[in-house]
Structure 1
């Protein structure tokens, strides 16, 4: 199990739900569903987490030479999530969570001093993008650099704007 998959299954969903003040999705079924749960609960689990791992690897390959310069040198794509309109199977919104941090040692005291930051970057989606079309586009090599279906912009464009 990759670190990304482990974090997605354990800590991060709880922290995002708690920090956003949002109730768990099962509490009030609505018009939208997490891409992982489309068309049914956990039906897209394996494909989605493989996609998230793929995007994480592409992010890692691009990061150092692009938007990841500056105060933090170790940006990591922590999570990618999309909401899907249940009735039509079209993607409503997607976001990427990027984290970065530094640890320094205070030499007089021996304490380890953290300095960390997280960003939530919205994906520039085209209107009414079908789930299958988005997933197929993001599974390709170079997915971060290619415009998203129905859009003139890529995830790379969104990350550049968000992180800089």
Structure 2
């Protein structure tokens, strides 16, 4: 089992001003529905563009993992959003039969305007094209992937 590193300092373990987006949305049915609609759409939309864009290079099998945002609990302002991806390259050693795996993990930041709020971001992607919608600040989630994958 792979262990993930925990918070880097004692301060990171204390209750702070930020929560994850799902926690922030809790209690507001429209926000909850919008958040889960977006996170449902994103991997499917990525799969539609992967073959013609990101999945032609060294790694041809990028798999989207999780899209996550930190949100200030008092006003809904986004601290940052990242979308994590995994990929690998495998090759066979003919003499031994051994397969060598070169794993790759990427954490792609979403380009958002400073001060953007979760409700504003979710409104921007509400039309069904979450991957390509112009977010607060004018860029898209796709734009963040171009700089990352």
Bin the TM-score by the shorter chain: 0.7 to 0.9
The TM-score with structure 2 as length reference comes to 0.81
**Cross-structure match for 1:85:** 72
Distance change (3 Å), C-alpha of 1:99 and 1:85 = same
Q: 1:55 touches 1:143 (CA, 8 Å); kept in 2?
A: yes
CA RMSD of aligned residues (A): 2.9
The gaps in structure 1 that reach 5 residues or longer are 1-10
**Cross-structure match for 1:4:** none
* Count of residue correspondences: 147
- Greater mean alpha carbon deviation, residues 95-104 or residues 126-135: 126-135
**Cross-structure match for 2:50:** 63
**For residues 5-154 of structure 1, what are the structure 2 equivalents within 5 Å?**
15=4, 18=5, 21=8, 27-40=13-26, 48-148=35-135, 150-154=136-140
Matches of 1:99 and 1:139, distance apart in 2 = 27
Q: 1:54 touches 1:139 (CA, 8 Å); kept in 2?
A: no
Q: What's the offset of the Cα at 1:80?
A: 0.8
Matches of 2:9 and 2:39, distance apart in 1 = 23
**Cross-structure match for 1:155:** 141
Distance change (3 Å), C-alpha of 1:31 and 1:117 = same
Q: Which runs of 4+ in 1 moved over 3 A?
A: 19-23, 43-50
The TM-score with structure 1 as length reference comes to 0.75
Distance change (3 Å), C-alpha of 1:102 and 1:140 = farther
Q: What's the offset of the Cα at 1:83?
A: 0.5
Matches of 1:21 and 1:136, distance apart in 2 = 33
Q: 1:55 touches 1:138 (CA, 8 Å); kept in 2?
A: no
The gaps in structure 2 that reach 5 residues or longer are none
Q: What's the offset of the Cα at 1:113?
A: 1.2
Distance change (3 Å), C-alpha of 1:22 and 1:123 = farther
Higher RCO (Cα < 8 Å, 6 or more apart): 2
Q: 1:121 touches 1:158 (CA, 8 Å); kept in 2?
A: yes
